Copies of this chain bind each other. A is one copy, B any other.
């Protein structure tokens, strides 16, 4: 692999994963720090990545009948307080607006930490009849949570996300929606971001404030910690009752609708970095890489090189590939390191000798392998290599997940696995909060989820020894 001072400056991921992460985020030009703690500038390269994720999700949402809307940024304090569990969960971490222009406000307004209360308020105005249902809404926006510890992408005080909010005639429909949207997230992660997921339900302790049930996809990072990557909530009719949302049903009497919400945020970008990155920097899955192929002319001053490079760009663009070339006066070595840092899946080099042989050289960011491509086969071969890179990234991440998920029968075993290997541990669980708390205290892990794919990894809860037929996956989470 190419080496350059640019590359040397990043910390070795095996020595200090946290510092490696921060180095990549800044060196690859993803993030800049702003003047306010916890507020980050999402730079063009990271934003382009987010746009590609948005494009995939927005298409899926719309195919499933969802419509985008825009709700206000600010929530009156009295509105936030309407649903008891919800306000308890969010009130401690919101930012408050107290003055507008020169006037002091008669009621404080918080900047939305999430928008359930706003959607409910709107629905209480517009929902009339069963004919209006389902209401399938989504919003792309940023929200604020006044976190104490912050970190690029993983924990911002302001972060971008999408929040879906839906209302349904029946409980069954709402529950189906909750599961369906979790599947959409799982599909995004597995088939576009090359991130294998564990799907499951959150324990009561870990569920969303105000939800009856929260479903989650959990991913394992390179350092074997967990990242909660997308969640989907079923609310029952709790919010509907708190906000007096009713509709005239098919029998012409008043009913409360059943509600869901679901969200995925720019945190997933942190997940992509920590799943696929290495000591040369970012490593982007081709399906969502802003630039899939970088073309670099070698000995660019020689006759015909720049023209040939431009021709390759034109051909690849025409084949629907996201391609750029760098014809600047930087050295090829600098360019190799720069685009490895930026995680561009495929580098194509073209120089006088290649032109002579009617070929170019293609270097895979994933495998580090470099091989010639006959120019007659350019588009097909590049397409094939991109597909192989996508599959390779997924397989490597899947192996990491599989090899670092273990099962245990005792609390001591859990602690030993976590200390020695990290990763996920599967145990049975009695369902009590007390045992969940003790697992955290003794083994240092939280429940990631009750996986949909259950196994009988034991017969009793490893903490209280009560018979149990529920399996939980535990881990240390970001």
Q: Known contacts being A34-B122, A95-B100, A125-B32, is A71 close to B41, with CB within 8 Å? A: yes
> Within the assembled complex, what's the spacing in Å between the Cα atoms of A179 and B109?
39
Digit string of A425-469 for contact with B (CB within 8 Å is 1, else 0)?
Answer: 000000000000000000000000000000000000000000000
> Within the assembled complex, what's the spacing in Å between the Cα atoms of A67 and B42?
11
> Within the assembled complex, what's the spacing in Å between the Cα atoms of A414 and B125?
46
Determine which residue in A67, A79, A137 has the highest number of CB atoms from chain B within 10 A of its CB, and name it.
A67
Digit string of A125-138 for contact with B (CB within 8 Å is 1, else 0)?
Answer: 11000010000010
> Within the assembled complex, what's the spacing in Å between the Cα atoms of A122 and B73?
24
A76 cross-chain contacts in B, Cβ below 8 A = 35-36
Digit string of A93-136 for contact with B (CB within 8 Å is 1, else 0)?
Answer: 11111111111000001010000001001100110000100000
A70 touches B47 (CB 8 A): yes
Number of A interface residues at 8 Å Cβ cutoff, please give it: 54
Q: Does A158 contact B (CB under 8 A)?
A: yes
B72 touches A328 (CB 8 A): no
A47 cross-chain contacts in B, Cβ below 8 A = 67-70
Q: Does A43 contact B (CB under 8 A)?
A: yes
Q: Does A385 contact B (CB under 8 A)?
A: no
Instruction: Show 20 A/B contacts (Cβ-Cβ < 8 Å), sorted by A.
Output: A34-B71, A35-B76, A36-B72, A39-B72, A39-B74, A41-B69, A41-B71, A41-B72, A42-B69, A43-B69, A73-B158, A74-B158, A95-B97, A95-B101, A96-B98, A97-B97, A97-B98, A97-B111, A100-B146, A131-B328
Q: Contact residues of A with B, CB < 8 Å?
A: 32-36, 39-44, 47-48, 50-51, 67-74, 76, 79, 92-103, 109, 111, 118, 121-122, 125-126, 131, 137, 141-142, 144, 146, 157-158, 160, 328
A97 touches B100 (CB 8 A): no
Shortest distance in angstroms between A384's beta carbon and chain B's nearest beta carbon? 28
> Within the assembled complex, what's the spacing in Å between the Cα atoms of A40 and B73?
10
Shortest distance in angstroms between A474's beta carbon and chain B's nearest beta carbon? 29
Taking CB as reference atom, which chain B residue is nearest A148?
B101
> Within the assembled complex, what's the spacing in Å between the Cα atoms of A157 and B67?
24
> Within the assembled complex, what's the spacing in Å between the Cα atoms of A151 and B125?
19
Shortest distance in angstroms between A450's beta carbon and chain B's nearest beta carbon? 31
Listed from nearest, the 4 A-B pairs whose CB atoms lie closest are A44-B67, A39-B72, A101-B146, A42-B70
Determine which residue in A40, A48, A95, A102 has the highest number of CB atoms from chain B within 10 A of its CB, and name it.
A95
A44 touches B69 (CB 8 A): yes
> Within the assembled complex, what's the spacing in Å between the Cα atoms of A202 and B273?
47
A157 cross-chain contacts in B, Cβ below 8 A = 100
> Within the assembled complex, what's the spacing in Å between the Cα atoms of A92 and B111?
20
Taking CB as reference atom, which chain B residue is nearest A145?
B101
A35 cross-chain contacts in B, Cβ below 8 A = 76, 79, 121
A111 touches B69 (CB 8 A): no
> Within the assembled complex, what's the spacing in Å between the Cα atoms of A33 and B72?
10
A44 cross-chain contacts in B, Cβ below 8 A = 67-69, 137
A73 cross-chain contacts in B, Cβ below 8 A = 39, 73, 111, 142, 144, 158
> Within the assembled complex, what's the spacing in Å between the Cα atoms of A245 and B118?
41
Q: Known contacts being A95-B97, A97-B111, A99-B96, is A72 close to B34, with CB within 8 Å? A: yes
A48 cross-chain contacts in B, Cβ below 8 A = 67-68
Taking CB as reference atom, which chain B residue is nearest A328?
B131
> Within the assembled complex, what's the spacing in Å between the Cα atoms of A74 and B137?
27
User: In the complex, given contacts A73-B73, A73-B111, A141-B142, what are 7 additional A-B residue pairs having Cβ atoms less than 8 angstroms apart?
Assistant: A34-B71, A47-B67, A72-B158, A73-B144, A94-B101, A96-B99, A97-B98
